[in-house]
Amino acid sequence: MHPAALFPADRPPSIPRMGHSSKTHPESEAWQQFWTGRARGGEHQFRDPEMARLLQRHWTKVFTESFNGRQDVDLVDLACGEGEVLALAAETAVALPATRLQAVGTDVAWDAVALAAQPVGDVRPVPAVADCARLPFSDESFDLAVSQYGLEYAGAEAFLEAGRIVKPGGRFHALVHVKGGAVEVSCQEVADLLGAVIEIALLDRMSDFIVTIPRAVSGEVSGEEAQSCADALRLALESVARVTGGAAPGPARDHVARLVQDCQSAAGRLGAYRTEDLQVWIEGQKAELAAFEHRMTSMVRVAQSEERLRDVVENLKAVGLEVSALETLAIEAGAPPLAWVLDARRSG
Ligand SMILES: C[S@@+](CC[C@H](N)C(=O)[O-])C[C@H]1O[C@@H](n2cnc3c(N)ncnc32)[C@H](O)[C@@H]1O
């Protein structure tokens, strides 16, 4: 039985420890929160179509090369998210009648692997919840180990783990966030916008407002107190609208603009809502904003410099893999890089 079959799709297994330290990398916690209860299409709302097409072309080429001439292929997608790369692998295999693909999708978040396990043709990816720094797979158990913007969240050991599980004759191929690259720059812009909104504390002002105004109506607090609360909310709304107006277009700006509108509309029709319902809504919005900002800063933190990736390459060579010269992926020559391309093979 394939080791990943130990984790059935209908129940969240605990993260296998496999005799390693039980400490999970801190970057993974925001991701677990991000995927909880999310439907497919979650992560890709942040990716522009040109970049999506480039990634798709890249993986289709990698899979076509790797599957050609092989009958049975064992593949694992590491930090697979909702399974975009797995789906491309499956589509490529379905188009090659001689290839039988056995795919495993592994991620630290149960809700992500559950999405990634959706079948494509007769390929049914097996979900495995795992920290990529401590994979629950035997040495040399996969023909192809792949990862797209994933391993770097699990730290440098994750690259060695990926190399460890590749069979003789097999391949490890990863796309990795680039320090100073296009994705890092746009994540930093989004993180700055969301950080500014959090600092303005709009949702705290909204929370004060929804509690104070009904109390002023019932005479429990003075008119001056109610007025100063309303002024504080108005100032916060104006500040957030100002920073949003100066931000680059995209999902983060739309998210914040919607938040401003919702606050304005709720504040203008307080009588239409129960205070408790609004408090729950405010807490939900705060958590979402904090998780979004944390995820953006974590993408910036994990982006790899050339020096760090060269260390990864040396480490993989030291454990016997042949590693191709480092390259980057970009929309066109001279454009800011979107990813490091790491390609390694185990001879045999
Ligand atoms: C930027 S997303 C990429 C997802 C997917 N590979 C893709 O390209 O659509 C990063 C993924 O890494 C996962 N992740 C974060 N830390 C991890 C860890 N320590 N081990 C395994 N997966 C992790 C997250 O849950 C998330 O799905």
User: DSSP string covering 46-83, please?
Assistant: GS-HHHHHHHHHHHHHHHHHHHTT-SEEEEEEET-TTT
Nearest to 306 by CA among 334, 325, 333: 325
Architecture of domain 3-11+23-41+48-181+303-346: 3-Layer(aba) Sandwich (3.40)
Among protein residues, the one whose CA lies closest to atom 26 of ligand 1: 81
Encode pLDDT of 226-255 as tens digits: 999 999 999 999 999 999 998 988 889 999
CA 150 to ligand 1 centroid distance, Å: 4
| DSSP H/E element including 171 | strand 166-176
Average model confidence (pLDDT) across the chain: 89
Question: Can you count the helices (H) and strands (E) in the chain?
Answer: 11, 8
pLDDT, position 348? 85
Encode pLDDT of 14-67 as tens digits: 333 333 334 556 667 778 878 887 776 655 555 688 999 999 999 999 999 999
CA 313 to ligand 1 centroid distance, Å: 21
pLDDT, position 260? 95
73, 106 Cβ separation under 8 angstroms: no
pLDDT, position 329? 96
Low-confidence ranges of the chain (pLDDT < 50): 1-22
CA 329 to ligand 1 centroid distance, Å: 19
Q: Is 202 exposed, middle or buried (0-12, 13-18, 19+ CB in 10 A)?
A: buried
For the record, the structure tokens of 42 come out as 């979650």
pLDDT, position 3? 38
CA 81 to ligand 1 centroid distance, Å: 5
pLDDT, position 30? 74
pLDDT, position 35? 87
pLDDT, position 200? 97
Q: What residues flank ligand 1, with Cβ below 6 Å? A: 25, 27-28, 31, 35, 43, 79-81, 84-85, 107-109, 112, 131-133, 148-150, 153-154
Give the atom of ligand 1 at the shortest distance from the alpha carbon of 175: 8
pLDDT, position 32? 81
Among protein residues, the one whose CA lies closest to atom 10 of ligand 1: 150
For the record, the structure tokens of 330 come out as 């970009």
CA 106 to ligand 1 centroid distance, Å: 9
CA 200 to ligand 1 centroid distance, Å: 30
Write out the residue limits of the CATH 3.40.50.150 domain(s) in the chain.
Answer: 3-11+23-41+48-181+303-346
Give the atom of ligand 1 at the shortest distance from the alpha carbon of 79: 22
List b or e across 285-302, with b for residues whose CB sees 16 or more CB atoms inside 10 angstroms.
bbeebebbbbbbbbbbeb
pLDDT, position 7? 38
Among protein residues, the one whose CA lies closest to atom 27 of ligand 1: 81
